[in-house]
Amino acid sequence: MTKFPSSLTSPKAGCQGCQQSEPLGFDFSFAYQPIVDLRDQSVFAHEALVRGVKGEGALTVLDQVTEDNRYRFDQLCRTRAIEGAADLNMQTHLSINFMPNAVYRPELCIRSTLEAAKKHRFPIDRLIFETLESEHVDNYRHLTNILREYREFGFKTAIDDFGAGYSGLNLLADFQPDLIKLDMALIRNVDQDRVRQAIVRGIVTICAELDVTVIAEGIESAGERDFLADCGIFLMQGYWFAKPAFKALAQVSPEAWTR
C-alpha cells in the first residue's frame, strides 16, 4: 500500500478543509496490482497505487502532498482511481487507499466518491477503502467512525499493514473491518520462521472468530504462498503473482499458481 508522510497525520478541527483546500499544483496517475484468490485462481480485487503521470514511483507524488492540499489530493485519488478502473473495464473489487485525517465529516466527504461511482457505473459494493493501521495510534475514534460510516454506505473496509504498528489488536477490538492485510514484514520468509508462523496462525484464528477476511500481501515465493494457504489464507497480493501495472490490469502468470 502507498504510505503517506507522517507530517500529514494531524487532523484539523471542523470541516472547513472541504471547502478551502488548496489546488494541488501537480498531477498523478495510478498503477493497479491484483489481489488473487487461490481457491479458484481468480483475481478478487485490484489495488490502486498512486504513480506519477509517466509511471514514476509513489514518493514523487506523495512528497508534494501538504497539509493544505491533502483533502483535494485524497478526493482526487478516489475519483481518479474509480475512473481509471471503469476505463479498464475492471470487473473485480477496487481497493482504494484513503487518508483518515483528510476526512472531516465522512457523510459529506464521501459525496464525490459516490458521484464518481455513479458517473462511471462502478458498483459501490465492489469498492474497498483501506487505510494503514500503523499511522493512527492516537486517533481511534476518528478512524473507527469513518470506517463505520463507510460500511453503512455499502463499501467494504480494510486495515492495511496489520501488525506493523502497536495499535492493531486495539483497533480490531473497536472495529472489525471486512478485511485486514497482513504486513509484509510478517510474511517475508514465513515458511522458514516458526515465530512468524505462530503469529500468523494466531491472527488467522482471531479473524476467523470475528468474521474478518485475511489478505497476505508482499508474497514473493512459492514457499510463502503455500504456508499461508495451509493456514487458511487464500487472498494474496505480491510480486509472485504480478507487479503493479501502470494504467493497466496486470496479468497473473499461470506459473504463479503452481510453481
- What confidence tens digit (pLDDT) does each residue in 13-65 have? 334 444 455 578 899 999 999 999 999 999 999 999 999 999 999 999 999 98
The pLDDT of residue 253 is above 50: yes
* C-alpha dist (Å) from residue 131 to 92, 117, 190, 234, 246: 19, 20, 24, 21, 21
Name the pTM for this structure.
Answer: 0.87
Mean pLDDT of the chain: 86
Q: Alpha-carbon distance 127 to 123, whole Å? A: 7
The pLDDT of residue 8 is above 80: no
pLDDT per residue as tens digits for the range 88-147: 999 999 999 987 766 767 777 788 899 999 999 999 999 999 986 555 445 667 788 888
State residue 84's pLDDT score: 97
State residue 2's pLDDT score: 46
Q: Report the chain's terminal Cα–Cα distance, integer Å.
A: 26
